[in-house]
Amino acid sequence: MELGLVVEHYVLLASAIFAIGAIGFLMRRNVLVQLMCIELMLNSVNLTLVAFNRRHHGDMNGQMFAFFIIAVAAAELAVGLAIVLQFYRLRGSVHSDEASSLRH
Amino acid sequence: MTAGSLLFAVCAALCLAGALLVVTAKNPIRCAMGLLTTIVGIAGLFLRLSAQFLAAMQILVYAGAVVILFVFVIMLLGPAASGEAAPPQRPSISQLIAGAMVAVLGVLSLGLIGYGDSHAFELIGQSHGSVAAVGSRIFKEGLVPFELATALLLVAVVGAIAVARSKPAGHKAKPAKEENPTRRMFQGPVNRPGAAGAARENV
Protein backbone atom coordinates (compact mmCIF):
# COMPACT_ATOMS: atom_id res chain seq x y z
CA MET A 1 0.00 0.00 0.00
CA GLU A 2 1.33 3.38 -0.99
CA LEU A 3 1.57 5.66 2.02
CA GLY A 4 0.98 9.36 1.87
CA LEU A 5 -0.97 9.55 -1.36
CA VAL A 6 -4.44 9.89 0.17
CA VAL A 7 -5.59 12.80 2.25
CA GLU A 8 -6.77 10.53 5.08
CA HIS A 9 -3.23 9.62 6.11
CA TYR A 10 -2.37 13.25 6.64
CA VAL A 11 -5.62 14.04 8.44
CA LEU A 12 -5.09 11.13 10.83
CA LEU A 13 -1.51 12.12 11.55
CA ALA A 14 -2.43 15.79 11.98
CA SER A 15 -5.30 14.95 14.33
CA ALA A 16 -2.98 12.77 16.40
CA ILE A 17 -0.42 15.59 16.68
CA PHE A 18 -3.18 18.08 17.49
CA ALA A 19 -4.57 15.82 20.23
CA ILE A 20 -1.10 15.29 21.72
CA GLY A 21 -0.55 19.05 21.72
CA ALA A 22 -3.92 19.80 23.26
CA ILE A 23 -3.48 17.15 25.95
CA GLY A 24 -0.04 18.50 26.73
CA PHE A 25 -1.41 22.03 26.96
CA LEU A 26 -4.04 20.85 29.42
CA MET A 27 -1.86 18.55 31.51
CA ARG A 28 1.46 20.36 31.81
CA ARG A 29 1.86 23.30 34.17
CA ASN A 30 5.07 24.72 32.74
CA VAL A 31 4.31 27.81 30.66
CA LEU A 32 7.20 27.13 28.29
CA VAL A 33 5.99 23.60 27.57
CA GLN A 34 2.47 24.90 27.12
CA LEU A 35 3.76 27.34 24.47
CA MET A 36 5.51 24.45 22.73
CA CYS A 37 2.23 22.52 22.73
CA ILE A 38 0.54 25.50 21.07
CA GLU A 39 3.22 25.34 18.37
CA LEU A 40 2.49 21.62 17.92
CA MET A 41 -1.19 22.34 17.37
CA LEU A 42 -0.45 25.12 14.86
CA ASN A 43 1.87 22.80 12.96
CA SER A 44 -0.74 20.06 12.73
CA VAL A 45 -3.23 22.54 11.31
CA ASN A 46 -0.65 23.60 8.74
CA LEU A 47 -0.19 19.97 7.73
CA THR A 48 -3.94 19.58 7.21
CA LEU A 49 -4.13 22.73 5.11
CA VAL A 50 -1.28 21.67 2.85
CA ALA A 51 -2.68 18.13 2.49
CA PHE A 52 -6.08 19.42 1.40
CA ASN A 53 -4.39 21.87 -0.92
CA ARG A 54 -2.61 18.92 -2.55
CA ARG A 55 -5.97 17.20 -2.97
CA HIS A 56 -7.72 20.25 -4.45
CA HIS A 57 -4.78 21.58 -6.37
CA GLY A 58 -6.58 24.12 -8.52
CA ASP A 59 -5.16 27.06 -6.64
CA MET A 60 -2.63 27.67 -3.89
CA ASN A 61 -4.99 28.90 -1.19
CA GLY A 62 -4.11 26.23 1.38
CA GLN A 63 -0.40 26.88 1.13
CA MET A 64 -1.00 30.62 1.34
CA PHE A 65 -2.99 30.10 4.55
CA ALA A 66 -0.22 27.93 5.98
CA PHE A 67 2.30 30.66 5.13
CA PHE A 68 0.29 33.25 7.05
CA ILE A 69 -0.18 30.87 9.96
CA ILE A 70 3.60 30.48 10.18
CA ALA A 71 3.98 34.27 10.29
CA VAL A 72 1.30 34.69 12.95
CA ALA A 73 2.77 31.85 15.02
CA ALA A 74 6.18 33.53 14.98
CA ALA A 75 4.63 36.83 16.14
CA GLU A 76 2.63 35.09 18.85
CA LEU A 77 5.68 33.26 20.11
CA ALA A 78 7.81 36.41 20.34
CA VAL A 79 5.24 38.16 22.51
CA GLY A 80 4.50 34.98 24.48
CA LEU A 81 8.12 34.39 25.42
CA ALA A 82 8.49 38.04 26.45
CA ILE A 83 5.49 37.58 28.72
CA VAL A 84 7.03 34.39 30.14
CA LEU A 85 10.23 36.27 30.97
CA GLN A 86 8.25 39.02 32.65
CA PHE A 87 6.14 36.48 34.52
CA TYR A 88 9.30 34.82 35.79
CA ARG A 89 10.62 38.17 37.03
CA LEU A 90 7.34 38.79 38.83
CA ARG A 91 6.80 35.37 40.42
CA GLY A 92 10.15 33.62 40.28
CA SER A 93 8.79 30.54 38.54
CA VAL A 94 7.17 29.50 35.28
CA HIS A 95 4.18 27.68 36.75
CA SER A 96 0.94 28.59 35.11
CA ASP A 97 -0.75 28.00 38.47
CA GLU A 98 1.21 30.96 39.85
CA ALA A 99 -0.62 33.33 37.50
CA SER A 100 -3.46 33.89 39.94
CA SER A 101 -3.31 37.64 40.54
CA LEU A 102 -6.71 38.17 38.94
CA ARG A 103 -8.34 35.44 41.01
CA HIS A 104 -10.83 36.84 43.50
CA MET B 1 7.72 0.11 -0.55
CA THR B 2 8.54 3.09 -2.69
CA ALA B 3 10.71 6.02 -1.66
CA GLY B 4 7.65 8.21 -1.17
CA SER B 5 6.04 5.74 1.20
CA LEU B 6 9.29 5.46 3.11
CA LEU B 7 9.52 9.26 3.39
CA PHE B 8 5.97 9.44 4.70
CA ALA B 9 6.53 6.65 7.23
CA VAL B 10 9.78 8.09 8.54
CA CYS B 11 8.41 11.63 8.79
CA ALA B 12 5.20 10.50 10.47
CA ALA B 13 7.20 8.52 13.03
CA LEU B 14 9.43 11.55 13.64
CA CYS B 15 6.38 13.79 14.13
CA LEU B 16 4.68 11.48 16.61
CA ALA B 17 7.85 10.71 18.56
CA GLY B 18 8.72 14.40 18.81
CA ALA B 19 5.21 15.37 19.88
CA LEU B 20 5.20 12.68 22.59
CA LEU B 21 8.63 13.87 23.76
CA VAL B 22 7.33 17.46 24.05
CA VAL B 23 4.46 16.35 26.25
CA THR B 24 6.27 13.81 28.43
CA ALA B 25 9.81 15.11 28.95
CA LYS B 26 10.58 16.74 32.30
CA ASN B 27 13.50 18.80 31.07
CA PRO B 28 12.35 21.74 28.87
CA ILE B 29 15.44 21.41 26.68
CA ARG B 30 14.27 17.90 25.78
CA CYS B 31 10.83 19.34 25.07
CA ALA B 32 12.43 21.84 22.69
CA MET B 33 14.32 19.03 20.95
CA GLY B 34 11.07 17.11 20.60
CA LEU B 35 9.49 20.19 19.02
CA LEU B 36 12.44 20.37 16.63
CA THR B 37 11.94 16.72 15.67
CA THR B 38 8.27 17.28 14.97
CA ILE B 39 9.03 20.35 12.87
CA VAL B 40 11.61 18.54 10.75
CA GLY B 41 9.14 15.68 10.25
CA ILE B 42 6.41 18.06 9.13
CA ALA B 43 8.84 19.72 6.72
CA GLY B 44 9.48 16.29 5.21
CA LEU B 45 5.74 15.74 4.88
CA PHE B 46 5.46 19.10 3.11
CA LEU B 47 8.02 17.80 0.61
CA ARG B 48 5.91 14.66 0.11
CA LEU B 49 2.95 16.96 -0.53
CA SER B 50 5.05 18.84 -3.11
CA ALA B 51 5.04 22.07 -1.11
CA GLN B 52 8.75 22.87 -1.43
CA PHE B 53 8.43 26.54 -0.52
CA LEU B 54 6.56 25.78 2.69
CA ALA B 55 9.06 23.06 3.62
CA ALA B 56 11.87 25.59 3.34
CA MET B 57 9.84 28.16 5.32
CA GLN B 58 9.13 25.56 7.98
CA ILE B 59 12.81 24.80 8.47
CA LEU B 60 13.82 28.47 8.33
CA VAL B 61 11.17 29.93 10.62
CA TYR B 62 10.46 27.09 13.04
CA ALA B 63 13.74 25.21 13.32
CA GLY B 64 15.82 28.33 12.75
CA ALA B 65 13.97 30.88 14.84
CA VAL B 66 11.24 29.44 17.05
CA VAL B 67 13.18 26.55 18.58
CA ILE B 68 16.27 28.73 19.05
CA LEU B 69 14.12 31.33 20.81
CA PHE B 70 12.75 28.62 23.11
CA VAL B 71 16.26 27.40 23.88
CA PHE B 72 17.41 30.96 24.60
CA VAL B 73 14.59 31.53 27.06
CA ILE B 74 15.17 28.15 28.76
CA MET B 75 18.87 28.96 29.14
CA LEU B 76 18.01 32.44 30.39
CA LEU B 77 15.71 31.11 33.08
CA GLY B 78 18.12 28.38 34.13
CA PRO B 79 16.95 25.77 36.64
CA ALA B 80 13.68 27.63 37.20
CA ALA B 81 12.56 26.69 33.69
CA SER B 82 12.10 23.04 34.62
CA GLY B 83 10.02 23.63 37.73
CA GLU B 84 6.74 21.78 37.63
CA ALA B 85 4.30 20.86 40.37
CA ALA B 86 3.14 17.30 40.79
CA PRO B 87 -0.11 16.60 38.93
CA PRO B 88 -3.20 16.61 41.16
CA GLN B 89 -4.37 13.29 42.55
CA ARG B 90 -8.07 13.49 41.78
CA PRO B 91 -9.00 13.92 38.11
CA SER B 92 -9.30 17.58 37.27
CA ILE B 93 -11.39 19.15 34.53
CA SER B 94 -8.42 19.36 32.20
CA GLN B 95 -7.68 15.66 32.58
CA LEU B 96 -11.31 14.83 31.83
CA ILE B 97 -11.17 17.01 28.72
CA ALA B 98 -7.95 15.29 27.64
CA GLY B 99 -9.50 11.85 28.09
CA ALA B 100 -12.58 12.86 26.12
CA MET B 101 -10.31 14.17 23.35
CA VAL B 102 -8.46 10.86 23.11
CA ALA B 103 -11.80 9.01 22.95
CA VAL B 104 -13.12 11.28 20.18
CA LEU B 105 -9.88 10.90 18.25
CA GLY B 106 -10.06 7.12 18.49
CA VAL B 107 -13.63 7.02 17.23
CA LEU B 108 -12.81 9.44 14.41
CA SER B 109 -9.80 7.46 13.23
CA LEU B 110 -11.73 4.20 13.31
CA GLY B 111 -14.42 5.86 11.20
CA LEU B 112 -11.80 7.27 8.84
CA ILE B 113 -10.16 3.87 8.36
CA GLY B 114 -13.51 2.28 7.62
CA TYR B 115 -14.31 5.02 5.14
CA GLY B 116 -14.18 3.26 1.83
CA ASP B 117 -13.83 5.88 -0.88
CA SER B 118 -10.42 7.34 -0.06
CA HIS B 119 -9.50 10.70 -1.51
CA ALA B 120 -6.41 9.87 -3.49
CA PHE B 121 -4.16 12.60 -4.86
CA GLU B 122 -4.00 13.20 -8.58
CA LEU B 123 -0.85 13.78 -10.53
CA ILE B 124 0.13 17.42 -10.65
CA GLY B 125 2.59 19.56 -12.53
CA GLN B 126 6.07 20.51 -11.46
CA SER B 127 5.20 24.08 -10.51
CA HIS B 128 2.75 23.22 -7.71
CA GLY B 129 4.10 24.54 -4.44
CA SER B 130 7.23 26.02 -5.96
CA VAL B 131 8.56 29.39 -4.84
CA ALA B 132 7.44 31.02 -8.09
CA ALA B 133 3.88 29.67 -7.88
CA VAL B 134 3.30 30.46 -4.21
CA GLY B 135 5.05 33.80 -4.53
CA SER B 136 2.96 34.95 -7.48
CA ARG B 137 -0.16 33.79 -5.67
CA ILE B 138 0.79 35.73 -2.53
CA PHE B 139 1.83 38.88 -4.34
CA LYS B 140 -1.11 38.92 -6.74
CA GLU B 141 -4.13 37.90 -4.69
CA GLY B 142 -2.81 38.02 -1.15
CA LEU B 143 -0.90 41.27 -1.22
CA VAL B 144 -2.96 43.09 1.40
CA PRO B 145 -2.83 40.21 3.92
CA PHE B 146 0.88 39.89 3.23
CA GLU B 147 1.50 43.55 4.04
CA LEU B 148 -0.70 43.22 7.13
CA ALA B 149 1.41 40.23 8.20
CA THR B 150 4.58 42.31 7.89
CA ALA B 151 2.97 45.02 10.01
CA LEU B 152 1.93 42.37 12.55
CA LEU B 153 5.47 41.03 12.76
CA LEU B 154 6.89 44.52 13.26
CA VAL B 155 4.36 45.33 16.00
CA ALA B 156 5.01 41.95 17.65
CA VAL B 157 8.77 42.52 17.73
CA VAL B 158 8.38 46.02 19.16
CA GLY B 159 5.83 44.75 21.67
CA ALA B 160 8.05 41.85 22.70
CA ILE B 161 10.96 44.21 23.35
CA ALA B 162 8.71 46.59 25.28
CA VAL B 163 7.24 43.81 27.41
CA ALA B 164 10.57 42.09 28.07
CA ARG B 165 12.39 45.28 29.06
CA SER B 166 9.81 46.92 31.28
CA LYS B 167 9.83 46.35 35.04
CA PRO B 168 6.86 44.46 36.45
CA ALA B 169 4.44 46.44 38.58
CA GLY B 170 5.15 44.57 41.80
CA HIS B 171 8.89 44.73 41.30
CA LYS B 172 10.80 46.66 43.96
CA ALA B 173 13.13 49.20 42.44
CA LYS B 174 16.70 48.64 43.51
CA PRO B 175 19.20 51.47 43.93
CA ALA B 176 20.60 52.49 40.59
CA LYS B 177 24.14 51.61 41.58
CA GLU B 178 23.28 47.97 42.19
CA GLU B 179 20.97 47.81 39.23
CA ASN B 180 23.39 48.42 36.43
CA PRO B 181 26.04 45.74 36.06
CA THR B 182 27.66 47.41 33.05
CA ARG B 183 28.44 50.51 35.07
CA ARG B 184 30.29 48.40 37.59
CA MET B 185 32.08 46.63 34.79
CA PHE B 186 33.62 49.89 33.59
CA GLN B 187 34.78 51.02 37.03
CA GLY B 188 38.01 49.07 36.81
CA PRO B 189 39.17 46.09 38.82
CA VAL B 190 37.36 45.48 42.08
CA ASN B 191 39.40 44.07 44.92
CA ARG B 192 36.60 42.82 47.13
CA PRO B 193 36.62 39.03 47.36
CA GLY B 194 32.85 38.70 47.04
CA ALA B 195 32.63 41.01 44.03
CA ALA B 196 32.34 38.29 41.42
CA GLY B 197 29.55 36.55 43.29
CA ALA B 198 27.70 39.81 43.85
CA ALA B 199 27.96 40.71 40.19
CA ARG B 200 26.63 37.33 39.22
CA GLU B 201 23.68 37.77 41.55
CA ASN B 202 22.93 41.09 39.98
CA VAL B 203 22.62 39.73 36.45
Interface confidence (ipTM) of the complex: 0.94
Nearest CA in chain B to A28: B23
- Tell me: pLDDT of B188 over 90: no
- Backbone region of residue B188 per phi and psi (left: phi > 0; alpha: psi in -120 to 50; beta: other values): left
Check CB contact under 8 Å for A88 and B77: yes
Could you tell me which residues are beta bridge partners of residue B120?
A6
Residues across chain B: 203
CB A77 within 8 A of CB A35: yes
Task: Note the helical H segments in chain B.
Answer: 3-24, 28-48, 52-57, 67-77, 93-114, 131-140, 143-165, 176-179, 181-185, 195-202
Indicate the CATH number for domain B1-79.
1.20.120.1200
Task: Determine, yes or no, domain membership for A18.
Answer: yes
Nearest CA in chain B to A68: B149
Counted domains in chain A: 1
- Backbone region of residue B22 per phi and psi (left: phi > 0; alpha: psi in -120 to 50; beta: other values): alpha
Question: For residue A68, which residues of chain B lie inside 8 Å, CB to CB?
Answer: 142, 145-146, 149
Structure confidence by residue, pLDDT tens digits, A65-94:
999 999 999 999 999 999 999 999 888 888
Q: How far apart are CA A63 and CA A51, in angstroms?
A: 9
Residue B88: the pLDDT is: 57
Nearest CA in chain A to B155: A75
- Residue B182 C-alpha, separation from nearest chain A C-alpha, in angstroms: 20
A13, A50, A81 ranked by CB distance to B69: nearest: A81
Check CB contact under 8 Å for A73 and B66: yes
Q: Where do the structural domains in chain B lie, given as residue ranges?
A: 1-79, 174-203
- Compute the mean pLDDT over every residue in chain A, rounded to the nearest whole number: 90
Q: Is B23 on the interface with A (CB under 8 A)?
A: yes
- Backbone region of residue A4 per phi and psi (left: phi > 0; alpha: psi in -120 to 50; beta: other values): left
Structure confidence by residue, pLDDT tens digits, B45-104:
999 999 999 999 999 999 999 999 999 999 998 888 886 655 556 667 877 888 888 888
Rg (CA), chain B: 25
Task: Determine, yes or no, domain membership for A1.
Answer: no
Mean pLDDT of all residues in A53-64 = 87
Nearest CA in chain A to B29: A33
Q: Please classify residue B81 by burial: count the beta carbons closer than 10 Å to its beta carbon, then call 0-12 exposed, 13-18 middle and 19+ buried.
A: buried
| Cβ contacts of A7 within 8 Å, gap of 6 or more | A51, A52, A54, A55, B118, B119, B121
Sign of the torsion angle spanned by Cα atoms B116, B20, A29, A77: negative
CB B52 within 8 A of CB B131: yes
- Look up the CATH number of the domain holding residue A74: 1.10.287.3510
Structure confidence by residue, pLDDT tens digits, B153-184:
999 999 999 998 887 665 555 444 444 555 55
Task: Determine, yes or no, domain membership for A101.
Answer: no
Q: What's CA A48's distance to the chain center, in Å? A: 13
Check CB contact under 8 Å for B54 and A66: yes
Structure confidence by residue, pLDDT tens digits, B2-60:
888 999 999 999 999 999 999 999 899 999 999 999 999 999 999 999 999 999 999 99
Domain that holds residue A89: 7-93
Task: Determine, yes or no, domain membership for A51.
Answer: yes
Model confidence at A99, pLDDT cuts 50, 70, 90, reads: confident
pTM confidence score? 0.82
Interface test with A, best of B23, B60, B166 (most A CBs within 10 A): B23
